Structure 1
Amino acid sequence: MRQYRHFDNVLLVVFFSHPRYDVNLDYYERTYAEYFPNMVFVGPASREDAGFNHSYDVIVDSYGSAENLTNPEFYQMAGRMAHHMLFTVMKDHPCYHGYLWAPFDTLLNVPRLQQFDQNRFWYHSPFGEYVPNSALESDQDPDLHAPPARISPDPALNLTEDWKGWGPDWCDPHVGLPACLPAFRKAPSSQHRRLASFFENGTERFLGGSSDTLYVPGIHREAFLETLALFLETECFMEIALPTTVHLVVPPSERILFVDHWWIWQPPFNATFVRMKWEEGFEVDTFHTFHWGDAAEGESWRAHPENIEDVRELLQESARRQGVRLPVATSQVTGRSPTASSLLPVDQRQA
Structure 2
Amino acid sequence: MRSMLIVTVTSAVYALRTFVDSRSRESADTATLYLNIPLTNLCILLILRTFLNRTFPASFWHAAVIQFSGLFILRDGLIDHIHASPWSLLLALALCNSTFFSLIDMLNRLHQSRSIYLINAIIFASSCIIVLALSAFQIFPTHECLGGLTPANVFSVAVEAGKDITAIYIVHRYDAVMQGISTSLASTLLITCFALRFYQASFALLGCLLMIIACVIYLHHLWQAPEGWCETPIRKTRLAIVGLAFVFSLAYSYTISAYWIAGFSPVASWNGYRLGDIENTQLCTPKQSPSHSFSQPQGNYSHFDNILLIVFFSHARYNANLDYHKEVYSSYFPNILYIGPASREDAGFAHSYDVYVDSYQSDEDLSDPWNYKMAGRMAHHMLYTALQDNECFDGYLWAPFDTLLNVPRLQQFNQSLFWYHSPWGHPVPNPAFGETYHEATLNASRHAPVANISPDPSVNLTESWRGWGLDWWWGDPHVGVSECMEAFNKVPLHLRESLAALTDGETRLIGGSADTMYIPGRHRKLFMEVLGLFLETNCFLEIATPTTLHLVVPPGETIQFVDHPPFNASFVRQKWAEGFEVDTFHTFHWGERGSDGVWRGGYHHVNDVRTLLQESANRQGVPFPPFLEPSS
- TM-score bucket of the superposed structures, by smaller chain: 0.7 to 0.9
The aligned residue for residue 614 of structure 2 is 316
| Structure 2 residue corresponding to 1:15, chosen from 300, 312, 316 | 312
Structure 1 residues 331 and 187 mapped into 2: Cα distance closer, same or farther (>3 Å)?
farther
The aligned residue for residue 99 of structure 1 is 396
Partner Cα separation in structure 1 for residue 576 and residue 562 of structure 2: 15
More helix by share: 2
Amino acid in the other structure paired with 2:572: V
- Structure 1 residue runs of 5 or longer lacking an equivalent are 335-351
Partner Cα separation in structure 1 for residue 569 and residue 314 of structure 2: 22
Does residue 146 (structure 1) correspond to residue 429 (structure 2)? The answer is: no
Compare CA radii of gyration and give the structure with the larger one: 2
Structure 1 residues 209 and 107 mapped into 2: Cα distance closer, same or farther (>3 Å)?
same
- Identity in percent: 59
Q: Deviations over 1:265-316 (max 9, x none)?
A: xxxx321111010011100000000011234587974111001111001000
RMSD, matched Cα: 2.1
The aligned residue for residue 58 of structure 1 is 355
Equivalent residues, number: 326
Which structure 2 residues correspond to residues 136-285 of structure 1 after superposition, within 5 A? 136=433, 138-161=440-463, 167-200=471-504, 202-262=505-565, 264=566, 269-285=567-583
- Structure 2 residue runs of 5 or longer lacking an equivalent are 1-295
> TM-score scaled to structure 1, two decimals?
0.88
Partner Cα separation in structure 2 for residue 248 and residue 280 of structure 1: 35
| Structure 1 residue corresponding to 2:324, chosen from 24, 27, 40 | 27
Does residue 80 (structure 1) correspond to residue 384 (structure 2)? The answer is: no
> TM-score scaled to structure 2, two decimals?
0.50
Structure 1 residues 91 and 209 mapped into 2: Cα distance closer, same or farther (>3 Å)?
same
The aligned residue for residue 340 of structure 2 is 43
Following superposition, the deviation at residue 329 of structure 1 comes to 3.0
Q: Which shifted more, 312-321 or 291-300? A: 291-300
Amino acid in the other structure paired with 2:488: F
Structure 1 residues 111 and 226 mapped into 2: Cα distance closer, same or farther (>3 Å)?
same
Amino acid in the other structure paired with 1:270: N
Following superposition, the deviation at residue 327 of structure 1 comes to 0.8
| Structure 1 residue corresponding to 2:600, chosen from 280, 290, 302 | 302
The aligned residue for residue 343 of structure 1 is none
Following superposition, the deviation at residue 80 of structure 1 comes to 1.2
Q: Deviations over 1:180-202 (max 9, x none)?
A: 110000000010111011123x1
Following superposition, the deviation at residue 134 of structure 1 comes to 1.8
Does residue 68 (structure 1) correspond to residue 365 (structure 2)? The answer is: yes
Find the residue that maps to 1:78 and give its secondary structure.
coil
Following superposition, the deviation at residue 144 of structure 1 comes to 1.3
Higher relative contact order (CA 8 A, sep 6+): 1
Q: Is the 8 A contact 1:121 1:216 kept in 2?
A: yes
Partner Cα separation in structure 1 for residue 371 and residue 595 of structure 2: 29
Structure 1 residues 331 and 223 mapped into 2: Cα distance closer, same or farther (>3 Å)?
farther
Amino acid in the other structure paired with 2:457: P
The aligned residue for residue 337 of structure 1 is none
Q: Is the 8 A contact 2:344 2:355 kept in 1?
A: no
Partner Cα separation in structure 1 for residue 627 and residue 502 of structure 2: 41
Amino acid in the other structure paired with 1:176: G
Partner Cα separation in structure 1 for residue 315 and residue 364 of structure 2: 9
Structure 1 residues 164 and 195 mapped into 2: Cα distance closer, same or farther (>3 Å)?
farther
| Structure 2 residue corresponding to 1:119, chosen from 416, 436, 439 | 416
More strand by share: 1
Partner Cα separation in structure 2 for residue 301 and residue 167 of structure 1: 30
Q: Which shifted more, 135-144 or 84-93? A: 135-144
Q: Is the 8 A contact 1:87 1:225 kept in 2?
A: yes
